[in-house]
Homo-oligomer: A and B are copies of this chain.
Amino acid sequence: MKSGEMHLKRRPVGVPVAEDFALVSVDVPPPGPGEVQVRNLWMAVDPAMRGRMSDAKSYVPPFVLDGPMEGPAIGEVVASEDPGFAPGDLVFSRLGWRELFNAPAGALQHRVRGTLPPQAYLGFAGPTGLTAYVGLLRIAEMKDGDVVFVSAASGGVGSIACQIARIKGHKVIGSAGGARKKQFLLDTLKLDAAIDYKAEPNLTKALAREVKAIGATGIDVNFENVGGDHLQAALALANKRARFAICGMISQYNVTDAPTVPRNLTMIMTKSLRLEGFIVLDHMDLEQQFLADMTAWYEAGLMRQAETVQDGLARSLDAFFGLFSGENLGRSLVKLG
């Protein structure tokens, strides 16, 4: 059978462009012994993929050139030569950016066809959601009364972090780019305060203003997705012994010259702050508790998936580019099936 795959043709310099990629048609043979054939229903794109397009050292290897890229996907088993999988099974894999594929059974994980829609496993009930959950609850050790500041709050991880903090009763300030996203934070996610950073000449002053507006003295937890000016503002407004979960620094990923860096790192010392980076793969022991919590919150109407959907693999680059142009709201998904 035929399948489309999105290949990396060359390593982007700065902001990726369409010419860095190629949509390739391939033949997929029947699955061999121990293999399973899967038709992807949904795939997700996220900013961390930008890192794998470069060949710099990181915690995951770079994408190979002239091969399909990788990323989270949810699909349906079409044929199986492994006793653990049968046609119709819903499976999660890291084999996105392709429509149909064969994979060894070990590369696939079963997912329950229950109350959650399939694409939830790429959002609040998938690694994205677990990233928000781990960052707030384990890395930042969020505790009662903490004021929480989330950057890129309308994004895939950010929108879930905001909801978890709200569900647990915290005051939450979110930052996002543009009036549409700011309204989303206030109206849909019901945050206590929201900042449109594109409309603010000085982000530190804007955060100070919102902290005051909600009757707080500062922030206790920063869920950081952006870096640069956002990190500087969070350091400036941090209360003593605040904890920063450093999840991403999207403002720095496409930077080719001098990065924008916080000018106030001495506050780590003067306010006894803790900044900690993490990757969700180191915290999979929390997955079962996380899935139970998310399912319960979804069924209670407390957790919702914010998503921007493109239709078809040919549109997958639009989904990816939208991460950096700031057009996407919530989790950035591509519907494949």
Contacts and interface: CB of A to CB of B under 8 A. Distances in A.
Contacts of A267: 277
Interface string A228-247: 00010000000011000011
Interface residues of A, number: 34
A280 to B, nearest CB: 10
A302 interface: no
Contact of A261 (B252, B265, B270): B265
Given A249-B266, A263-B261, A269-B249, A276 B274 contact: yes
Given A59-B240, A240-B59, A263 B259 contact: yes
Given A59-B240, A240-B59, A272 B263 contact: no
A258 B265 CA distance: 12
A227 B265 contact: yes
A43 interface: no
A269 B246 contact: yes
A56 to B, nearest CB: 8
B274 A275 contact: yes
A269 B58 CA distance: 10
Interface string A67-81: 000000000000000
B278 A272 contact: yes
27 contacts: A51-B270, A231-B265, A248-B269, A249-B269, A252-B265, A252-B266, A253-B266, A259-B263, A259-B265, A259-B266, A261-B261, A261-B262, A261-B265, A262-B265, A268-B275, A268-B276, A269-B277, A271-B277, A272-B277, A272-B278, A272-B279, A272-B282, A273-B276, A273-B277, A274-B275, A274-B277, A275-B275
Interface of A: 51, 58-59, 227, 231, 240-241, 246-249, 252-253, 258-259, 261-263, 265-279, 282
